[in-house]
Amino acid sequence: MSTLPTRLQRLTDSLDGLELDAMLVTDETNVRYLSGFTGDSSFLLVTPQGTSILSDGRYTAQIAEQCAGIETQIRSSTQLLRDVVKELLSSSGATKVGIEADKLTLAEFQFLEAGCDGIEFVSTKAVVEKLRMIKDEAEVLLTRRAVEIAERVFTELVPTLTSEHTEKQVAHEIEHRMRLLGAEGCSFAPIVAAGPGGALPHYQPQNLPLAKHRSLLIDWGAKYEGYASDLTRTLHQQNVSDAFKRAYEGVLEAQLAAIELIRPGVSAREVDAAARAALERHGILDAFKHGLGHGTGLQIHESPRMSPISDEILASGMIITVEPGVYYDGDFGIRIEDDILVTDSGHEVLSTLPKGLDDCRFIL
C-alpha cells in the first residue's frame, strides 16, 4: 500500500488556496517525498490535472521502478529541463506556477524564467515542507526502524569501548555498525565528545583516547530508507564530579517535563518553556545554549522547530526530538535526546534506551 498518491493529492488540494494553477517542485527531498524518486536533477510539475516527473535518460529505468502511476517526461540530450517545463505548462494551460523560492538559486530561477514566456512564477515557501511535518504511517514505520538500528548500535557498542578507543574510532564504529544492520549510514556525522568536548554542541570527534575523560557524550542517528533518527546519551565513569551528577539530574528532569507536555494543540514554545523552567529550578538554565528540538524525517532537521521563538503548534503525526543540554566550557557537556511521535491522544517516545544517571555509566 503506497501512501505517495495521498501526499500528491494533499499538495494538489492546496493549490487553490495558494491561488496557483500548478506547482513546480525542484527540491530533491521534496521530489522524493512526493514521488518516491531517489535520484537527482529531476522536477515534479503538479497540476490539478495530474503530476509529471521531468528527468533525463539516466533515470528512465529508475523512475519506471520507483514512480509507478506518475506521468514521466524524459528530455532528450538536446533539450533543456526548462524547455520541458515550458512545453508541459503550455499544454496544461497553467499560467500561475508556484516555485520553491527558498530552494531555487537566483541563477536557476532567472534561467527558468527567461525560457518560459507567458508564465508567472509565484514565490512560495515551505509548501511541501509543511506537508512533510505530518508523517504518514509509512514514514512512522521507517523512522521506528531508524531508531531501532541506532539503539541497537549503541547498546552493542558501549560495552566494547576501551581506554584506547579514540573519539574518531567510536564515530567510525557507529557508522560501520549502522550499515551492517541495514541502515544507509548515519543520518548525520556522529558527535562523540569526551570530557570538555561535550561542552561544544556541534563538536567534531578527534584522535583523543577516551580514557582521559570521565564523561562521554554521543549524539548519533541512523538513516533508514531515507528516514532519520537522532539520539543523544551522555555517559559517565564512576569518578565523575558531583557538579556533573547534579547537572545531569537537572537535564533529565527538563527532558521528562517537556516530553510530558507533548500532545496535539500544544505549542512548540510551551514545550520548550517547560524544559527551561526545569533547568531554571536546578540553577543551570544559563548553560542551555540552543533550542529544545526539531522535527525529523527525510532530513535530520525539519519543522517544527522547538524553541522560544517557534510559532508551530504540535499535531498528531509529527516526529520531534527533545534534547535539552547544558554546556560548561573546558569541563563537560550533557545532552539527552529522544525521538517523540505526537499521537492523537498525546505522544509516544519512539526511543527506549535507559537514561537515568545510573543507567548511563561506562566502564573502560
Binding site for Zn ion (CB under 5 A): 219, 230, 232, 321, 337
| Nearest-approach distance from CB 321 to Zn ion, in angstroms | 4
Q: Which is nearer to Zn ion, 21 or 230 (CB)?
A: 230
| Nearest-approach distance from CB 339 to Zn ion, in angstroms | 9
Q: Distances from the Cα of 293 to the Cαs of 79, 258, 290, 303, 305, in angstroms? A: 44, 10, 8, 10, 6
Q: Which is nearer to Zn ion, 176 or 202 (CB)?
A: 202
Question: What is the Cα–Cα distance from 313 to 191, expressed in whole angstroms?
Answer: 30
Question: What is the Cα–Cα distance from 151 to 318, expressed in whole angstroms?
Answer: 21
Q: Which is nearer to Zn ion, 52 or 234 (CB)?
A: 234
Residues in the chain: 364
| Nearest-approach distance from CB 187 to Zn ion, in angstroms | 9
For 163-301, strand residue ranges (E) read 185-186, 191-194, 215-220, 222-224, 227-228, 231-236, 293-295
Q: Which is nearer to Zn ion, 55 or 187 (CB)?
A: 187
Q: Which is nearer to Zn ion, 202 or 361 (CB)?
A: 202
| Nearest-approach distance from CB 323 to Zn ion, in angstroms | 5
Q: Which is nearer to Zn ion, 173 or 323 (CB)?
A: 323
Question: What is the Cα–Cα distance from 339 to 218, expressed in whole angstroms?
Answer: 15
Question: What is the Cα–Cα distance from 202 to 325, expressed in whole angstroms?
Answer: 12
| Nearest-approach distance from CB 260 to Zn ion, in angstroms | 19
| Nearest-approach distance from CB 268 to Zn ion, in angstroms | 14
Q: 57: number of CA atoms within 13 Å, CB side?
A: 5
Q: Using alpha carbons only, what angle is made at residue 55 by residues 49 and 31, rounded to the nearest 5 degrees?
A: 65
| Nearest-approach distance from CB 334 to Zn ion, in angstroms | 13
Q: Which is nearer to Zn ion, 33 or 203 (CB)?
A: 203
Q: Which residues contact 109 (CB under 8 A, 6 or more apart)?
A: 99, 101, 121
- Burial bucket for residue 91 (CB in 10 Å: 0-12, 13-18, 19+): exposed
SS3 call for 64? helix
